[in-house]
Amino acid sequence: MLFTSISFLYYFLPITIILYFIVPKKIKNFILFIASMLFYFYGEPKYIYLMLTEILIAYIGAILIDKYKKKGILIATIFIHIGLLCIFKYTDFIIENTNNIFNLKIPTLRIILPIGISFYTFQILSYIIDVYKGKVSVQKSFLKLATYVSLFPQLIAGPIVRYETIEKELDNRKHNFENFAYGVRRFSIGIAKKVLIANMLGELCNYFIGTDEKSIMFYWIFGISYTLQIYFDFSAYSDMAIGLGRIFGFHFLENFNYPYISKSITEFWRRWHISLSSWFRDYIYIPLGGNREGIKKQIRNILIVWLLTGIWHGASWNFVVWGLMFGIILIIEKLFLGKYIEKWPNIIKRIYVLFIVMISFIIFNAKNMKEAFSNIIGLFGANEKTFINNYTIYYLKSYLVVIIIAIIGATPISKNIIQKLRKNEKLNKIINIIEPIYILIILIVTTAYLVDNSYNPFLYFRF
């Protein structure tokens, strides 16, 4: 079920909210768990049993880890969860590459990837590892653990919510108008970003992919548009997840912090998909030794982390290349480039970051490396295309406004202006009056758009 569907917005969500707030406190987790099961069942009915099995394994495994303090139990539990992720996500990829290398004809199993498995697997892993380390208390209630793992606001596309973040709120969370209002406002911002910006940019990218009438300018428009699309698409889901979580009393951590204003790739990854990058830092990079054992091992650790980051995103070589590309750039920045970047003007720093990020997302989006290479060299006229043609001009005129809005929206300009205005008492009162009207208009406009348009899932659903 999509957050941007009529069935979710006007049936599932209102019914869930009403039931949640009318039942006693001791039943609220049960309502959320049942709602989350129905939410997942709607889109992945047969894989709901896989998720419940993984939760049960984590539940039993954590209790045994807490009781016996044996590393072997931890390793076995991790192995089971990683093994299931690999079976469902990478089996066909391994078979295809084995066939290519050894000229075999082993049939692929055509396994359908369970939605959200990468996200809830990482949440489970963080829980059992933190129980072993003593960072969190083992959860004796299966219902509460299952509610944490399956919580529908962040179940299928993150952010990756660690157990320690909401451990106390599973037992005791506050419900008040302030939290509810913030949640509604944050959810509304997210749905506007997705429907009115990301989807529109997605249409433009699809026109580029589907046409033979490409030009050098169209390659650049595509690169810029997709870079903006994936930010607004994924950050929109995070906004909606954070907003929904707050409505039900949970405080999820931020997942994006205006990454496109970064002045280095190192900074970019402190601002982009924060829950994923921090997960790899805390559970892979630091346990491997981080930067504590010399530069050679640090380089090794960075490459391992970014190889895994690429593979986590999908079973395809373009994701491997994408991950290793960032790993190599981060190593170069750490070794020597970083000290030179510091001396560059800010505008040059940001152009450097945006260009690398755009190239990376062209690779990320491609079906294969051949397509990625073609789209990259197309930026520089190597595909023997004209600089601009009538087809490009037509689509540039059609989508120029949304591109400009997206560029402005990817920066904190609007946020900073509103914060400054709120410092004035009279203006703050006006904003408080206008805000509910603004939210209502967003819901009306997005509803009209959704009724008139076809299925358009979030980009990160495939991970």
| Length reported for the chain | 463
Specify the pLDDT at position 86: 95
The single-letter code of the amino acid at 330 is L
Whether the link from the prior residue into 159 is cis, omega within 30° of 0, is yes
Using alpha carbons only, what angle is made at residue 307 by residues 304 and 312, rounded to the nearest 5 degrees? 120
**Alpha helix positions (H), 248-345:** 265-271, 274-280, 286-288, 295-313, 317-332, 338-341
CB atoms within 10 A of CB 60: 13
Domain residue extents for the chain: 6-173, 179-462
- Residue 162: Cβ within 10 Å count: 25
Predicted pLDDT at 1 = 75
Contacts of 453 (CB under 8 A, 6+ apart): 199
Helix axes 425-452, 177-192, angle to 10 degrees: 50
* Residue 19 structure tokens: 């039931």
Alpha-carbon span 373 to 380, nearest angstrom: 11
Rounded Cα–Cα distance for residues 197 and 194 (Å): 6
Cβ atoms 215, 388 nearer than 8 A = yes
- Specify the pLDDT at position 91: 95
pTM of the predicted structure, to 2 decimals? 0.94
Tally helices (H) and strands (E) across the chain: 22, 0
| Residue 188: both structure tokens together | 């509304």
Q: Of 400, 405, 454, which is closest to residue 192 (Cα–Cα)? A: 405
Amino acid at 78: I
Which residues have C-beta within 8 Å of that of residue 35, sequence separation ≥ 6? 12, 16, 19, 20, 152
pLDDT value of position 176 = 93
- Which residues 6+ apart lie within 8 Å of 381 measured at CB? 216, 387
Q: How many CA atoms lie within 13 A of 83 on its CB side?
A: 8
pLDDT in tens, the chain (463 residues): 788 888 999 999 999 999 999 999 999 999 999 999 999 998 788 899 999 999 999 999 999 999 998 999 999 999 999 999 999 999 999 999 999 999 998 999 999 899 899 999 999 999 999 999 999 999 999 999 999 999 999 988 879 999 999 999 999 999 999 999 999 999 999 999 999 999 999 999 999 999 989 999 999 999 999 999 999 999 999 999 999 999 999 999 999 999 999 999 999 999 999 999 999 999 999 999 998 888 999 999 999 999 999 999 999 999 999 999 999 999 999 999 999 999 999 999 999 999 999 999 999 999 999 999 999 999 998 887 899 999 999 999 999 999 999 999 999 999 999 999 988 888 888 988 898 998 999 889 998 888 876 556 666 555 5
Amino acid at 2: L
| CB 409, CB 231: distance < 8 Å | no
The residue assigned the tokens 């793992």 is 149
Task: State the Cα–Cα distance between residues 389 and 159, nearest whole angstrom.
Answer: 41
| Whether the Cβ atoms of residue 194 and residue 188 lie closer than 8 Å to each other | no
- pLDDT for res 135: 95
pLDDT digits (tens, 9 = 90+) for 415-441: 999 999 988 888 888 988 898 998 999
* CA distances for 193 relative to 52, 128, 405, 442, 460, angstroms: 32, 35, 10, 10, 15
pLDDT digits (tens, 9 = 90+) for 8-44: 999 999 999 999 999 999 999 999 999 999 999 987 8
One-letter amino acid for residue 26 of the chain = K
Placement of tokens 């290349």 in the chain: 321
- To the query of whether residue 313 is one of the catalytic residues in this protein, the response is yes
Residue with tokens 């400009």: 404
